[in-house]
Amino acid sequence: MHTSTQEVVSFYDDKVANYAEQPIKPVTLKQLLQFGKPPLSTHALLDSARYTKSELPVRLARRVKALQKLPFIAGINPYIKKIYRLYFDTFESICNFPEITEEKADENFADLLSKMVASHTDNIPTLAKGFQECKKYMSSQDITNFLDDMIRARIAIRLIAEQHIALHNAHDPNYIGIINTRLNPAKLINSCANIVRELCDAHYGSSPEVIINGQTETTCTYVSVHIEYIITEVLKNSYRATVEHSSKIKRENHPPIEVTISRGVNNIGIRVRDQGGGVAPKDLPSIFDYSFTTVPQDDSDTDNILSDVSRMAMQTGIGGPIAGLGYGLPLARIYAQYFGGSLNIMSLYSHGCDLFLRLKDIDESLGDWQID
C-alpha cells in the first residue's frame, strides 16, 4: 500500500497536536540527581534513558505548535522556518526511536541526543535574526512572550537531554551528569575573565584587571554552563564599557572590575562592579529587552570579535554567538531566574554599573525545584 508524503505529514501533524495537548510533567532536580548518583549502574542509565525519552516529545511538540501559531509572515521567514523544521524533525526522531530495554539501545539513544544538542546549538541567534526581520509585523510584547516561552522550554529540553548524555561520560566525581556538586564560583569567574581579557587585549590593545574577593572559597551545587554563560556576558559588557569609557574620558589606566562573592543560606551572591560609565538613563529601562543593544550599527565588527567568547561559553548547551543582537543580558537573566535566582543592575551614569547576581544552591534541600 502506497502512503503519500501528504499523508505522512498529516500523520505527524496529528501526532504533534496530540503530544502538545498532554500536560507537562514538571521535572525535579532531585529526579535528575537521583539517576546519576554513584554507583552508576546500567539499570540507572536505562531508567534515565526511558525517562528522557518520555519527557522530551511533549516539550518538543509544544515548541512546534508555538511556531505554527506565529503570524503567517513570521512563520515563512527562512530563519524561523529553519527552527520550526529542526524542532519538528527532532520530535519525529525521538518519537520513532524504539523502546529502550538494553544497553546498546541506550547508547544509540545517547548518540541521538548528542546529535540533537549539536543541531540545536544556534537556535537562539537564528531566531534572533528571524525576529529582527519580522519585528514590523509583530508587537514587541508578542515577540517577548514568544521568546520567553521558547527559551525557558529550550533550557528544560537541553537540560534533560544533556543530563542523560553526561551520565555516559561520567569521569569527575564532583559531577552528577552536568550538575557540579562542588562548583567554586571564584574559579569559574577567573576562567571566564581570562578568556574575555584575551579577546579584549586582542581587539583594544589593553584590558582592565579583574579582582575577585569576598567568600572566594565558597562552593555550591549548580549547572556550571549556566553560570559560565551569565558571567561571560556580564564580564564582556564590563570589559568593553571600561575600555571604551577610558578612551572617552582620556583615562590613562583602566580601573579594575571588582567581583565580590557572598554566601547566604542556600544561595550565592555575586556582585560585578565596574567603572565603565554606566548606562544612559534613557537606555536603562530597555537593557533587558530583546534586540536592545548599545552597540552602534557601524560597530558590529567590534562586537563580533567579543562575541567569540559567547560561543565558547555557550558551546555545551545554550547557543551560538548573539552579541550585537541584544540577547545577551535578557538570556543571562532568564538563566539566572531559571532555578529561582535573579539578575539586577544598578547604574551610576558617567561612573559605572553594579550588577547583582543571586543564585540558589541546588543542594538536597532544593532538590524538589521543578523544571517546567
Q: What is the DSSP string of 300-357?
A: HHHHHHHHHHHHHHHTTTT-S--TTTT-HHHHHHHHHHHTT-EEEEEEETTTEEEEEE
Average pLDDT of the residues in 129-139: 88
Domains located in the chain, CATH noted: 5-172 (1.20.140.20), 179-371 (3.30.565.10)
Judge whether 182 and 174 are in contact, CB under 8 Å: yes
Average pLDDT of the residues in 179-183: 92
Q: What is the mean pLDDT of the chain?
A: 85
Q: Give the range among 115-124, 255-264, 305-314, 343-352 with minimum mean pLDDT.
A: 305-314
Average pLDDT of the residues in 213-235: 94
Average pLDDT of the residues in 276-288: 92
Continuous segment of H or E residues that includes residue 222: strand 220-223
pLDDT score recorded for residue 327: 76
pLDDT score recorded for residue 158: 93
Q: Residue 325: pLDDT band by 50, 70, 90 thresholds?
A: low
pLDDT score recorded for residue 75: 92
Sheet containing 179-183, strands listed edge to edge, beginning at the edge strand earlier in sequence:
175-176, 179-183, 220-223
Query: The cell 522556518 sits on which residue?
Result: 81
pLDDT score recorded for residue 300: 44
Burial of 41 (0-12, 13-18, 19+ CB in 10 A): exposed
pLDDT of 309 strictly over 70: no
Average pLDDT of the residues in 202-229: 94
pLDDT score recorded for residue 306: 40
Greater confidence, 316 or 152?
A: 152
Q: How far is CA 150 from the centre of its chain?
A: 11
Per-residue pLDDT of 20-65, as tens digits, reads: 999 888 777 777 777 777 778 888 899 999 999 999 999 999 999 9
Q: Which among 36, 34, 364, 359 is positioned nearest to 218, based on CA atoms?
A: 359
pLDDT score recorded for residue 224: 92
| Percentage with pLDDT > 70 across the chain | 84
Q: What is the DSSP string of 66-93?
A: HHHTS-HHHHTSHHHHHHHHHHHHHHHH
Query: The cell 559588557 sits on which residue?
Result: 237
pLDDT score recorded for residue 242: 97
Q: Which three cell numbers stand for residue 253?
A: 589606566
| Percentage with pLDDT > 90 across the chain | 59
What pTM was estimated for this model as a whole? 0.85
Beta bridge partners of 214: 261
